[in-house]
Structures are given as structure tokens and as C-alpha cells.
Structure 1
Amino acid sequence: MFDFSPSEEQHHIIDTASQFMKDYVYPNEKHMVPHRGLPDDILKPLQQKVKDLGLWAGHLPKDVGGMGTGFITLGLLSEVIGRSPIAPYIFGSMAPDAGNGEILVHAATEKQREKYLLPLANGDIRSCFAMTEPEVSGSDPRTLQASAEKDGDEWVINAHKWFTTGAVGSSFSIVMAVTDPDAKPHKKTSLFIVENDNPGFEIVREVPVIGDHFAGGHCEVRYTNCRIPEENMLGNRGEGFKLAQLRLGPGRITHAMRWLGVCHRSMDLMLDYALKRETRGKTLGQFQSIQNFIADSAADMQAARLMTLHAAWLMDQGDEARKDVSLIKFYGAKVLHDVIDRAIQVHGALGVTGDTPLEGFYREARTARIYDGPDEVHRYVVARTLLKAFEKGEELY
């Protein structure tokens, strides 16, 4: 029923991207600045090379400069890109810009498209997404306290947000705020574009978190009597929750396939070290415990890959695939952690140093079980969906 073998075009994309990673990405990892990414004098020429190869912004349509691929092709490319923490920036597909671009493609007016989407899609500017609040559960946007009130031809936003990824150095934010507090839970909020030089916008601090690899940090921000023109509403009033979902499904597909890229690189390091490191007269790879690490990692990675490609295939058929996306989110995050953990164990003391990428991968992997919804929420989505389907006598798988 399912054929995930790459087409000729997909083979070309994968091969070209893989060669580019070897030639240009891995050699430049040493230039990454924690929480800031690559310096522009290195990043911008590499981005141009990617554009020249036709591999730029795989998540966006061609009319805004992207590749215009389906989800399976995006997933296969993301698997290659995921092998390096700097690659998503070089290939123009890093969160939160990728998700914001997807929202703008669907909801931006012509003026918003020209002013925000096109420069964002081209990599000329960065953006951030302000939804999560410290006072309420980040996994339930129905509880948001941020407010946006109409005052003449302006909206006045008051909000306290955090984990607004990429805020430092960004040009604008997309903020979710309550516009209709008495409406049904999924109709209460709307999205707004706020330029970050607005006097009502303030970056309070860059929140210290595990990991190094997100440019612009994870920030606490405030919108205090922040006035914006009414034309800065994104989409229609009450569509905040609906539009936010546009970025989450594709984003989770991309995350899961990038995680597989991290797993592949960790596996390569594990195999290489197991073959050349000797102890007690044998290489590590000759010990059964190490062989078990390798075999278990291969099985986990294959299962996660097939699950992710299946979810991508469903989305290419027009299915929202919420259950399948939730499955790959919590399962893929566990595989990511376990494979890196085994690779570190094989490397012993070397694995916890900065002499390999593994310790950095490991720190980043812990947050994968929280962002874009914690594991527990995704397990709840899967279980609830299956229970309801079984109760109704519907097909489960």
C-alpha cells in the first residue's frame, strides 16, 4: 500500500544535500556561536550556495522562493539536514521562522506577504512566535491570558510570554492573544504581527536553557499597551488556534526527521569508535553489550523513520494525521535520546566531552520531549483518538 522508496528527483535532492553537508556544513560547525548560530559572513554565502542548488526552504512553496515539495520529500531532506545543528539555518528551514513562514503563506494579506513573508522566506530577516506564557500551561493554549483589545483602528496587546524562541535579533513576532474571551475555547484567540521595534514590545531576558543551538535564544518577552494597526491581525478574528495548528503538524514532521539525522550521525560515530577502540585485547564492537547497543539503535531508528514517513504520506494525501503526528512526536523524541545515550556510552569519557558532537546532541535532545507539546499530551491525543475510534467501530490503524 505504501511505497516510500525515493523517486529519481528525491534521490537527487538527498545526494546533493548530503554532498553539500560534507563539503560545507560539517567543516563550519566549529564556527557556531552558542545561542547565536553562525556569523553572517559565514552563513550568508552558504545560504546562497543552497539557493543556487535549489535546496532552499523545503517547507515553502516555489512562489515565495521555496522548493514546493510534499511532506515526504521535506522529511527526506530534513533527515539529511538534521545531521548538523547549523544546517537548518543554512538551508533556510529553522524554527521558528519555518513555522511562521507556513502561517504567513496561508493567512497573510498581500501587504503582509510583501512586508514580512518574502524577506523572511529569503532569509533576510528572522522572526519569533509568542504563544507560551509562564503563568499557564504551555500545552493548553485555551488558557492563555494575553489580551488584544480593539481601540479605534488599532489593537492594544498586553501579554507576558516566554520561550519565545529567536526573539533576540528578530524583526517581528507573531503573537497569540485573546480577542474574544466569551467565545468557545478554540475561537477565543487571534494572531497578530508585531514589529520588534514597537515601543510596547520588550525582551525581558534570554531564559537560560539546556543546549546551545538556537539563534536568538529562548526569551521572556512582554507586550505592554502595545499598539499595532488593525491590519496587523493575521488571518481572521478568532482563528489564532486554527492558524497556530498550521505550523505544528508540518513542524513535528520536520523535527522527527531531523532527529533521525541526529541519530544517523550519532550511530556513525558509535560504529566508527566501536571498530577502532580496543580494550582487553578486542575492539569494542566485538563485545555483545556494544553489539546490542548498535542493533537496538538500528531497530529504533528504522521504526521511527517508517512512522514518520507514513505520517508524511498521510499529510501528502490531505489527511491532518493528528494521531500519527503525535505518535512520531513522543516516540521519535525517545529514540533520539536513546540512540545518543548509547553512542555516548560507547565512547565512555570521550562521549561527555566537547571533542565529539554527542554531548551537545544529548543536551538538545532532552528538550525534544517538551517543546511542541510534552510527551504526555501526545500520548493522551493518541490514546483518546484510539478509544473514540474503537467505541465507534472505526478503523484504528
Structure 2
Amino acid sequence: MENQVTYAQAGVDTAEGARAVDAIKGVVHETYRPEVVGDIGGFGGLFSIAAAKDMADPLLVSGTDGVGTKLKVAQMLGQHSTVGIDLVAMCANDILATGAEPLFFLDYVAIGKLRAEAVADIVAGIGEGCKQAGCALIGGEMAEHPGVMDPDDYDLSGFCVGIVDRPKMLDPESVREGDVLIGLASSGLHSNGYSLARKVCVEGKTPEELRAPREELEGRSVLEALLTPTRIYVKPVRAVVGACPGAVRALAHITGGGISENLNRALNEGVDAEVDLGTWPVPSVARYVCDAAHLSEAEALKTFNMGLGLVLIVDPAQAEDVEAACAAAGETTYRVGRVVSGTGEVQYANEGGLYGFSA
């Protein structure tokens, strides 16, 4: 046996993996809903969909996404408990675009060297995101990749499944000329555009520069501002949809591609979205990155969310009711435009006025 090479000697520590599972059990259990069957550790997560029998035509809605190079910012700051929120947000906000209720979530953590405490921090953020979205974390995978990833490197993927009753589904085909665009505020860059943000704001800077408070970032450091977690809109938006039946026709989650390349996904081929620039505040971190990159207004609008995390397309007769319901749910809203006749594109009014918001 003197030539034996064990799995642990090859770089994979299954005992540490078991310890990591034990470390996250409490976080996982905190996300459970009554529909969860069994516990983590099985070969598959079980979730009852008995409630679907009360729907006229239940549809399952699924989404998958990651956090991208924002993870590099977390690694530089040594703070790993918020990127899990980003992971859930990117998936749950996407399926919310159909009006769906997120039911359950699964994660995939790929890591160079498995350390139970580090994984527990990451999964704590995923658990917090699941609680914010109201979905259960019912399974996942922790994969140790020695020789493929650096020991301190990791990547995240998430998978979310929700349900919506087809008659109540939000549908771009229902959008019509005259509808109102109501924007919901973002918390910052969310989880998109970080390859550019890192290139112009992080690369070539000293740790002292990146950690120093900056007046133009409202007293935050560059790393802190970039690491602000993505907002999860599930609970407030579903509350609004429930309070104002039929008022919200469609919605767009503003992710990679910015307003220009996401709002059009909530339109049909007979209309355009006309966005009034300057009708909402641009977060300080977005302006900071755009200034550092010398981005034109048009380029900024197709790269970052620029302050709008979601855009609701609303029946004009019920726009005030929707705004009131949003306020009651704790949301800050802005009327940012209207739907006009067109071909399914996004156009802008008041060009040059992106940064001109005045409260």
C-alpha cells in the first residue's frame, strides 16, 4: 500500500465536504417552506406542488444565472456573505418577470480548496437571498477543483423554479400604446458590467486606494460600493400585482445589456418603450464607473441598469394605484416613460439628460 494515493492527497477532502454540509444545515432549514419534503443530503430535493391544483392552468417557470466577475470584488474585500444574495436575485428577479412566485432554489459552488467556514459564509448569503425571495433552498452541490482553480477562487451558479397561473401571467403581448413605465430603484450596479467596472476602477489601484472612503461614493470605498448586493423585488412586486389585479401588464428585469437591451424584452412587436432620461436618480457608483470609463450616454444605457432595477409596464388608468401599492410595499418608484406605437424597440426622450434628475 506504500504507493497508494488517496483522494485527499489528490486535493479533494471529502471529510471537509461533510463538515461544510453540517455547517450550512441551519441556514438551509431557515429557508424551508411547508412544501419542502425531506432534508438536504439526498440525491434530489423534493417539493410538493399540491397548491397548483387550485390554479386554472399552472405553469412552472425556471431560471438560472451566476454572479460573474463581481466575485473577484468579494475576494479582494474578503467578504463572501453578500454574493449569495446576488446569486438568488439574478434568478428570482428573472422569473418574477412572468409574475411567477419563486418556489425553490438550488446552488452550485465550485471552489479551488474547500473550507467549511468559507462555504458557510457563501451559503449564508444564498440563504438570506432565498428568504428575501420567499423560496426554499432545497439542494445544491459543492465541488472542489484542485489543479483547475486556485485554492481561494470560487464560482457560483444558481437555479430557481417558480409557478404562475397562466391566466394571471405577465405577458408582453398585453402591452399596448399609452401604458406607463414605472421604474423601481436599484441599489447600484447589481451584478452586471463588472468586467468593465473592475477594469476602470480596480485594475492598477493599490489596496489602500480601493479601501479608502470616497466622497463621490457617499463615503464608501470603491470595493464597498461595487459589492452592494442586488435588490430582490419578488415580495413587493407580487404584493403590488395582488393588490392591483390586471394593472401590471409586463415587467423587465434590467440586467446585462442595461435598459436598452432588457426593456425591449417586455414589449411586443407593435409598440416601443419611450424612456424619459433624467426622471430618476443615477446611483453614485454607476456614475463613478461611467465617468472612469468615459462612457457615452448611449453606451452607459446598454451596459448598466443606471438606477433602475425593474421597470413595470402599467395600465395608465391604474398607474397611481400601482405607485401607491409600491410605496406601501416599501418601494421607491419613478415614472420614467410611456409605451408608444413602434416595432418592439427602446427609444429615449431628452437625450443628454441622463444625469439631470431633480427631486
Relative to the length of structure 1, the TM-score reads 0.23
Relative to the length of structure 2, the TM-score reads 0.24
Name which structure has the greater RCO, CA cutoff 8 Å, separation 6+: 2
